């Protein structure tokens, strides 16, 4: 699958918006992109990812002890134009780098900020990082204390039905403590297809990877090593979901939903984002509306700062 389609793939259970009052659009002629972005769900997926990674970067950078930069292509790609976003991935694919998996964010000590900026500027800025082989980025990686794989969900986590439900012995887990398979609560998502590439990157780089998952009202984090322990002990089992790409193709993927109680509290929203309308227009004047998050503020939890302190 093309990296642009992969990054915007949406679980079919999360495709909730259907615009029934609009006529069938001639997508082959749609000016937006040759990947045929087919609906508002995919535009919202793009906007949601941009918003959540921005909140994480701001939260780290305003802490005073640490700072972060985008590193993987989803974080370094243009954020204000979905067409430019698509062309960025076209360029990445043409360079033969589209299938390389890199974490989304790198975190450094605040005292190294000027040195990191100098290194990044010397290679052309953050948007050029995914196009540079990592051997040449060793001075940058040697300064990183943790790498982050960012995920997000459109939920107010504290209002999810099983947020406070206690663990009980589960037959499907061999009697180990857990929740029913249909429980609805905050989880940190790791895709099976990403596990090996992330583990390989962690081993080759020598930098620990953590997965940070942003919800509307708070965020949680877990180390890749701890997630692997949960998988190995059978405490978290994979589930199969069907994903649809912007071009319409569907694929079944195994994902792991890690209960938030196994994670550390990463951040708390002190300002809620607003939902604002936006749209794209094709060359024939057809309008494709969608809703996106705007603003909001996330503050790092003291437990997350302790985790970063331990990694230094």
Query: Are 201 and 209 within 8 A, CB to CB?
Result: yes
Helix, strand, coil percentages (3-state) for the chain, rounded to 5, are: 40, 25, 35
Q: Where are the beta strands (DSSP E) in 75-161?
A: 105-109, 146-152
- Per-residue tokens: 270: 């002190």
Name the H helices within the chain.
3-8, 40-61, 73-76, 82-94, 113-122, 138-141, 192-205, 224-232, 302-311
Kindly state the greatest CA–CA separation across the chain: 60
* Residue 39 structure tokens: 């609906």
Q: Mean pLDDT per 10-residue run, the chain (312 residues)?
A: 62 49 41 48 73 92 94 76 75 73 94 96 91 91 96 91 95 92 94 92 96 95 98 93 69 90 96 82 71 87 96 90
Are 146 and 308 in contact by the 8 Å Cβ rule? The answer is yes
Question: Which among 264, 291, 301, 297 is positioned nearest to 42, based on CA atoms?
Answer: 291
- Give residue 272's domain range: 3-311
Structure tokens at 164: 């406070």
* pTM reported for the whole predicted model: 0.84
Quick check: 258 and 188 in contact, CB under 8 A? Answer: yes
CA angle 156, 161, 164 (to 5 degrees): 95
Q: Which residues, 6 or more positions from 77, have their beta carbon under 8 angstroms from its beta carbon?
A: 84, 85, 88, 89, 127
The CA distance from 36 to 34, in Å, is 5
N- to C-terminal Cα distance for the chain? 37
Total domain count, the chain:
1
Is residue 300 within 8 Å of 267, Cβ to Cβ?
yes
> Would you call 55 exposed, middle or buried from its count of C-beta atoms within 10 A (0-12, 13-18, 19+)?
buried
Q: How far is Cα 201 from Cα 78, in angstroms, rounded to an integer?
A: 24
Strands (E), 27-155: 66-70, 105-109, 146-152
Q: What is the pLDDT of residue 28?
A: 38
Distance in angstroms (rounded) separating the CA atoms of residues 175 and 14: 31
Distance CA 170, CA 109 (A): 42
What 3-state class would DSSP assign to 19? Answer: coil
């Amino acid at each position: 699958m093309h990296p642009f389609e992969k990054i915007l793939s949406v679980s079919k259970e999360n495709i909730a918006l259907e615009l029934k009052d609009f006529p069938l659009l001639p997508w082959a002629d749609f000016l937006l992109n040759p990947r045929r972005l087919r609906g508002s769900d995919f535009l919202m997926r793009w906007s949601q990812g941009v918003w959540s990674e921005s909140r994480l970067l701001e939260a780290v950078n305003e802490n005073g002890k640490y700072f972060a930069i985008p590193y993987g292509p989803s974080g370094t790609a243009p954020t204000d134009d979905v067409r430019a976003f698509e062309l960025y991935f076209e360029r990445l694919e043409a360079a033969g780098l589209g299938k390389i998996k890199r974490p989304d964010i790198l975190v450094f000590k605040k005292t190294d900020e000027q040195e990191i900026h100098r290194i990044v500027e010397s290679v052309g800025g953050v948007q050029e990082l995914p196009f540079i082989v990592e051997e040449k980025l060793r001075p940058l990686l040697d300064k990183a204390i943790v790498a982050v794989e960012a995920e997000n969900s459109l939920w107010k986590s504290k209002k999810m039905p099983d947020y406070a439900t206690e663990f009980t012995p589960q037959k499907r887990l061999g009697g180990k403590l857990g929740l029913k398979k249909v429980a609805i609560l905050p989880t940190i998502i790791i895709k099976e297809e990403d596990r090996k590439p992330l583990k390989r990157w962690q081993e080759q780089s020598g930098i620990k990877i953590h997965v940070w998952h942003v919800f509307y009202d708070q965020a949680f984090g877990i180390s890749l090593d701890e997630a692997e322990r949960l998988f190995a002990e059978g405490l978290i089992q994979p589930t199969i979901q069907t994903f649809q790409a912007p071009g319409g193709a569907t694929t079944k993927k195994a994902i792991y939903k890690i209960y938030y109680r196994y994670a550390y509290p990463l951040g708390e929203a002190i300002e809620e984002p607003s939902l604002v309308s936006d749209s794209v227009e094709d060359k024939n004047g057809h309008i494709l509306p969608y809703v996106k998050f705007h603003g909001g503020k996330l503050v790092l939890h003291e437990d997350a700062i302790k985790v970063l302190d331990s990694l230094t």
